[in-house]
Amino acid sequence: MSGVHTSLERRLISGLALVGAIGALCLLLFIGIEYGLTFSVLFDPAELPVVTHELTEHVLIPILVLILPMTLAGRWVVRSSLRPLEHQAREIDEASENERGFRVDATSLPREVVPFADAVNALLERIDLASREQEAFAADVAHELRTPLSVLALEIERLDHPASERLKEDVARMRRLIEQLMILAQLDIDTPQVADERVLLRDVAEDVASLMAPVAIRQRRKIAVESEGGDYVVGRREAIAAAVRNLVDNALRVTPEGGTVTIVIGPGRRISVRDEGPGLAPEKLDQLRHRYKRADHASNSGAGLGLAIVSRIAAAHGASFTTIPAEKSLRLQFA
Residues 262, 245: Cα–Cα separation, whole Å: 12
Closest CA to 294 of 144, 180, 171: 180
Q: How many helices (H) and strands (E) does the chain have?
A: 10, 7
Q: Are 331 and 271 in contact (CB under 8 A)?
A: yes
Residues 277, 255: Cα–Cα separation, whole Å: 5
Q: Check if 131-189 and 197-333 are the same fold.
A: no
Residues sharing a CB contact under 8 Å with residue 330, sequence separation 6 or more, in sequence order: 247, 250, 251, 272, 273, 280, 285, 307, 310, 321, 322, 323, 324
Report residue 4's pLDDT band, with 50, 70 and 90 as the boundaries: low
Question: 131-189, what's its fold?
Answer: Helix Hairpins (1.10.287)
pLDDT tens digits along 107-131: 877 787 888 888 888 988 888 888 7
Domain ranges of the chain: 8-93, 131-189, 197-333
Residues sharing a CB contact under 8 Å with residue 53, sequence separation 6 or more, in sequence order: none
Q: Are 310 and 321 in contact (CB under 8 A)?
A: yes
pLDDT tens digits along 148-196: 877 887 888 787 777 777 887 788 778 777 777 777 666 665 554 556 7
Report residue 255's pLDDT band, with 50, 70 and 90 as the boundaries: very high
pLDDT tens digits along 24-72: 777 777 766 666 665 565 566 766 676 677 677 767 777 777 777 777 7
> How many CB atoms sit inside 10 A of residue 249's CB?
20
Q: Tell which wins on pLDDT, 165 or 302.
A: 165
Question: 197-333, what's its fold?
Answer: Heat Shock Protein 90 (3.30.565)
